[in-house]
Each structure stands twice: as structure tokens, then as C-alpha cells.
Structure 1
Amino acid sequence: MELDRFDRQLLNLVQEDAAQTAERLAERVNLSPSAIQRRLRRMREEGVIVRESAIIDPKQVGRPTFFIVSLQVERERPELLAQLRKWLAAQDHVQQVFYVTGEADFVLVITAPDTETYDALMSRMVGENPNVRRFTTNVALTVVKRGLTIPVPLDVDA
């Protein structure tokens, strides 16, 4: 899909706050509210905007701890990796999963209300996924920045 400067501006603005009205976005992008709605609908239909969600304060809902996990597998056979990916994707506590290069095969971001909940999740993971060789855990002491924003350059050539 071709994205022009207006589309790129909109993408940056809705990543900042997806709850902005078409009228507010129109003021900032210098288009009509109906043009804003058409462009956003097209970007949703084309899969540029995958979904919209609310960012909540984890402390307000009892999930104050973040765990960053490096995970190694025994074998990188496609069917075994697919099984592990599917298992990880189905876990509510697992926020992000990255298949990476380097010493680890996966890096996970997990949130849980306490270490006991985290430990139970990881025990289940190892028990239900025999291809997991080992994992190491880092506990986030402070969250300095958290987000999923993708900076969208306004210039098409950038």
C-alpha cells in the first residue's frame, strides 16, 4: 500500500493516542474529518493498522513485575519452533516474543503480579515444551520506557 505524507502523519498521531476524534486529527493533519475516517478505514483494511488497544498502568491492575527472558531451544526444527511459538502466543502473561539471533533463540517480555506466578508459568513452559533447553531471567527493577510505537517517517524516501 502506498502511504502519502497525510497517511504517515495519521499513523504517528494514532499511535500517540488512538482515541483522538476524526475532528481532532483533521485539525492536526489539515484534512477534513471524513477524509481522515476514509484514510484510517483504508489503512485498517489494508493491514497497515493491525489493531488498536489501550495502554494501561500495570500497577493499577495488579501486574507490577516485568520479566525479560532469554530462551534457548534444543533443536531448531521448524515443527518444534512452531509448537513453542504457538504455546507462547497463547499465554496471557507473555506480552512479547522475539525470535532472535545470538546466544538465545527467543527473547520474551512477561508480566506477572509476582515471582510465584512467573515461576509457575515457566515450570509449565518447560514441562509442556520439551524442546526448551534453558532460560535465563532478568527482572525489571524500573520501567524507563514501554511502548510499541513505530516511528513513521513523513518523507516517503526516508
Structure 2
Amino acid sequence: MTDLDRFDRQLLNLVQQDAALTAEQLAEHVSLSASAIQRRLKRLREQGVIQRQIAVLDAAAVGQPTTFIANLQVESERPELMARLRAWLDAEAAVQQAFYVTGEADFVLVVTSWDAVSYEALMARLLADNPHVRRYTTQVAMGVLKRGLVLPVPQ
């Protein structure tokens, strides 16, 4: 765990809301110079605290892909099979989030796809490439109430 001081924590909260803020704009909110902010952000990236910066798109502007929640059950949790499944999920762009969970399902996935037909094709590939996946169940999101990846960083 990286030691984060109050300035780091303030910066992390701000850049999670808008990663396009300039060092000068961040300096208006944090009591540091723009150059000090640039050095801190560079260090936080190098340490892996800031893993990447992305653009959040408006789903309607790109054709409103449908969101599916998939619960996967695997037959075997052998390390090599689990590693292959994890790599497959990580490489698949349609899989927005993947969680290894407790309970009836082994994995919960958040998947975007243009329609049910393309989603079923994706899941057919998942099963063909990962035969130890026993079954999956699907829920279709009727609407998105909240979408985000902001982690609260205590001050």
C-alpha cells in the first residue's frame, strides 16, 4: 500500500471526477503549485495508484449498447483453468467488469452488447473457449441508474 498524504487524497478524488483537469485547475482546489501537482500525479501513475485515464462515453451517442449481468458457474477451480478464464475475460472488450465472488455464482460479469443475438454469440464463444464453465444466467439491465468507477478516497 502506498502512503498517501492529504494532498494525494485530494488529487485522487478530483482526477477521478475529471481526469482532464489541468495542473493549474487542480492547484485551485489543492494548496500546491501546478508543478508539485504534476510531480505527484506522475508518482501516483508510476506507483500504479492511478492505473489509467479513460473517457466515459454516452451510451446513446454510440448506439445504446445493452447491458447484461451474467453469473458464471465453473465446474473446477483448478488454477490453470481459472487463469485461462480470467485472461479471456480480461481480453474481451465487451466484458466491462468481472468479479470473482462468493455464493452460488463464481463470477459476476457486467457485459455490454448491441443486442441479445450478439450477447449470445459472445457467451457461446466464452463456453467454447472455457469448457469448465458449467453454466451462466443472465439479467438484462432495463435502465442504468448509476455507472461509475470512482473510489472514495478518505481525506
Range with bigger deviation, 78-87 or 56-65: 56-65
1:63 to partner: Cα distance: 4.1
Deviation at 1:128, TM superposition (A): 1.6
> CA offsets per residue over residues 19-46 of structure 1, 9 Å max, x none?
0011110001121101110110011111
Q: Give how far 1:59 is off.
A: 2.1
Is residue 79 of structure 1 aligned with residue 80 of structure 2?
Answer: yes
Query: Structure 1 residue runs of 4+, over 4 Å off?
Result: none
- Compute the RMSD of aligned alpha carbons: 0.8
1:56-135 paired onto structure 2 within 5 Å: 56-135=57-136
TM-score under structure 2 length normalisation: 0.97
- Tell me the TM-score normalised to structure 1 length: 0.95
**Aligned-partner SS, 2:3:** coil
Separation (CA, whole Å) in 2 of partners of 1:86 and 1:64:
24
In the TM superposition, residue 62 of structure 1 has moved relative to its aligned partner by: 2.2
Question: Which SS does the other structure have where 1:28 is aligned?
Answer: coil
- Could you give the per-residue CA deviations for residues 40-67 of structure 1, whole angstroms, max 9, x where no partner exists? 0011111111111011112211242100
Deviations 1:64-109 (A, max 9, x none): 2100110000011111111111111111111111111111000000
Q: Secondary structure at the match of 2:96?
A: strand
Name stretches of at least 5 consecutive residues in structure 1 with no aligned partner: none
| Match in the other structure for 1:136 | 137
- Please give the per-residue CA displacement for 1:104-138, whole angstroms capped at 9, x wherever unaligned: 00000000111111010011111121101000000
Identity of aligned residues (%): 66
The CA distance in 1 between the partners of 2:19 and 2:101, in whole Å, is 30
* One-letter amino acid of the structure 1 residue matched with residue 57 of structure 2: I
Partners of 1:63 and 1:111 within 8 A in 2: no
